[in-house]
Structure 1
Amino acid sequence: MPEKRVVPVIASLADFESKLSGYLDPNTPLALLLDYDGTLSGIADNPSSTFLTANMKKLLHELAAHPQIFMAIISGRGLRDVQSCLGIKGITYAGNHGLEIEIGDGTRHDYALPAELQRLYTTIVNELTEKLENNGAWVEDKKVSLTFHYRDVADDAAEQYKQAAKAIIESHGFRANQAHMAIEAKPPVNWNKGEAALLILKNQFGEDWAKKIKVIFAGDDTTDEDAMRLLQGTGISFRVSTDPNIETYADFRLARQPVVEDLMAWINNTHN
């Protein structure tokens, strides 16, 4: 059974080359599954303020165009939002933690929420907005999941806002997950980034995908752990975290967000 543990850290391009020598084979297809916020881009006070460095953008475009590399972005953002952030055509995007999936040719694989859950979701949005959208706190409505941001709330009130938001979300049966100075509300369905990752891999490579390809996943958040858990033993995953004691389903910890750029450079060097 997959288990969480403290894992080896990677802090530089040289670490990839020494600790993962031989994992990648330029002749074997690679599925590259990536989170966006906190992984490809640094965390910002407002989601609209995130950006890719010029070198990261260049590396991603080169990797996406490589004939042996299949790229998918699996994000908590809404689908169109994350597509606009990357601007890479022809790759697979999964938004809302995998509830919305669009492959490169435009085919959709969305998880259909029951009408009752859609009604409850609207109730949660309205209640959070009316009661807690003040003093710097705000609600990011992504239509099937939401994020309650409290980063800009005064330090002495942040915990109060966090707990109040969790209480509202959970009172309507939704799941409240901790993010970076935010609470994410997700519908109570058996679907997450891990299930989305498996669906994407099966659609692209068939049921026996694990025998045909190499897989790399990278993410920085608790919601990314769902993918790390389901991929443990069949791919290599990386958890971005500055915490040396964090327990994770990933195989390696990336010491800080800029090391993700080294990860992309290592893959690019191996395949060229």
Structure 2
Amino acid sequence: MISEFQMNMKKKLNKALGFQKSHSTKQWVNKISSSKTKNNDENGGHDLSMIIARTRSNPPLELTIDAASTSSDDSIYNSWVVEHPSALDSFDRMIKAAKGKKIVVFLDYDGTLSPIVDDPNRAFMSDEMRAAVREVAKYFPTAIISGRGREKVKEFVQLGNVYYAGSHGMDIMAPPRPVKACDGKYHTVVAGKKGSEVLFQPAKKYLPAIQEMITELEEETRKIHGATVEDNRFCVSVHYRQVREEDYNILQEKVKSVVKN
């Protein structure tokens, strides 16, 4: 039987995630499927993953679907949902499966705790979402994992009771707590008023090379309108959501040349 706490938690999560549960997901799936079909037809059956990735990263577009295509689109969407079920829709099953086990919550940031936006610096999470994550973290160890820099994600989230993993896990900080031991090689202890925060940064020795790459990328992409380079400390992001479509290949080649060298 589902407890009152579990029911309340489910309601809070549903409310916080409300902006995600819209028809935009359906549009996104249909666009991807249409792009795959078109690209396969135009390229001898070969799937152009780069084009698919571009379609996925662009903002949702309003689609005009005629009656003849509606059935096919619904079938595509329903198939996608079967392969990617909503955790909230399966909440009761999850609770039953987790009985007697320790639950740990892992969350992405962009597109999960915040909406996808054109400007990565404005990917703000709502107060409702922040309250929901804070509540979850009271009962379960909760980690937010992102390709962004850890400090940037922490600045967005503004919670002290969660784990932050930036740079795809290359920069992890645990919530403040008493620390008994530290290996000293990859871990750093940062003392604070509420306890000690432990940093896990196994890629420190690569920081000079990463900074050099960032400088080169900024130089190579500065003439491409809309392209921006984000320093995530232990990894680098090249944003192209505001780049003109005709410049995609140019940007891609410039990034490849820097990474290759």
Same fold (TM over 0.5): yes
Equivalent residue in structure 1 for 2:245, among 155, 164, 173: 155
Percent of aligned positions that are identical:
29
Residue 98 of structure 1: aligned partner: 169
Q: Which runs of 4+ in 1 moved over 3 A?
A: 17-21
Question: Is 1:131 matched with 2:220?
Answer: yes
Mapped partners of 1:54, 1:87: distance in 2? 10
Q: 1:44 deviation in Å?
A: 1.3
Please give the per-residue CA displacement for 1:31-71, whole angstroms capped at 9, x wherever unaligned: 101111122212211221112233322211110112xx111
Residue 61 of structure 1: aligned partner: 134
Q: 1:170 deviation in Å?
A: 2.5
Q: 1:19 deviation in Å?
A: 5.8
Decide whether the 8 Å contact of 1:96 with 1:145 is kept in 2. yes
* Structure 1: 5+ residue stretches without partners: 1-5, 172-272
Structure ID, larger Rg: 2
Question: Is 1:167 matched with 2:242?
Answer: no
Question: Is 1:8 matched with 2:83?
Answer: yes
Please give the per-residue CA displacement for 1:80-129, whole angstroms capped at 9, x wherever unaligned: 11111111112211111111111112111211433xx3333222111111
Residue 97 of structure 2: aligned partner: 23
Pairwise mapping of residues 108-119 of structure 1 onto structure 2 (< 5 A)? 108-114=199-205, 117-119=206-208
Structure whose residues are more often strand by fraction: 1
Pairwise mapping of residues 249-260 of structure 1 onto structure 2 (< 5 A)? none
The alignment partner of 1:139 has SS state of: strand
Aligned letter for 1:109?
F
The alignment partner of 1:22 has SS state of: helix
Please give the per-residue CA displacement for 1:175-209, whole angstroms capped at 9, x wherever unaligned: xxxxxxxxxxxxxxxxxxxxxxxxxxxxxxxxxxx
TM-score where L is the length of structure 1: 0.53
Aligned letter for 1:130?
E
Q: Judging changes above 3 Å, is the alpha-carbon distance between structure 1 residues 71 and 16 closer, same or farther for their aligned structure 2 residues?
A: same
Residue 23 of structure 2: aligned partner: none
Aligned length: 160
Q: 1:9 deviation in Å?
A: 3.1
Aligned letter for 1:43?
I
Residue 9 of structure 2: aligned partner: none
The alignment partner of 1:73 has SS state of: strand
Decide whether the 8 Å contact of 2:134 with 2:159 is kept in 1. yes
Q: 1:140 deviation in Å?
A: 0.7
Structure whose residues are more often helix by fraction: 2
Decide whether the 8 Å contact of 1:77 with 1:96 is kept in 2. yes
Pairwise mapping of residues 184-199 of structure 1 onto structure 2 (< 5 A)? none
Residue 32 of structure 1: aligned partner: 105
Q: 1:20 deviation in Å?
A: 4.2
Q: Judging changes above 3 Å, is the alpha-carbon distance between structure 1 residues 32 and 12 closer, same or farther for their aligned structure 2 residues?
A: closer
Question: Is 1:144 matched with 2:234?
Answer: yes
TM-score where L is the length of structure 2: 0.55
Q: 1:157 deviation in Å?
A: 1.0
Q: 1:165 deviation in Å?
A: 0.9
Name which structure has the greater RCO, CA cutoff 8 Å, separation 6+: 1
Mapped partners of 1:75, 1:151: distance in 2? 18
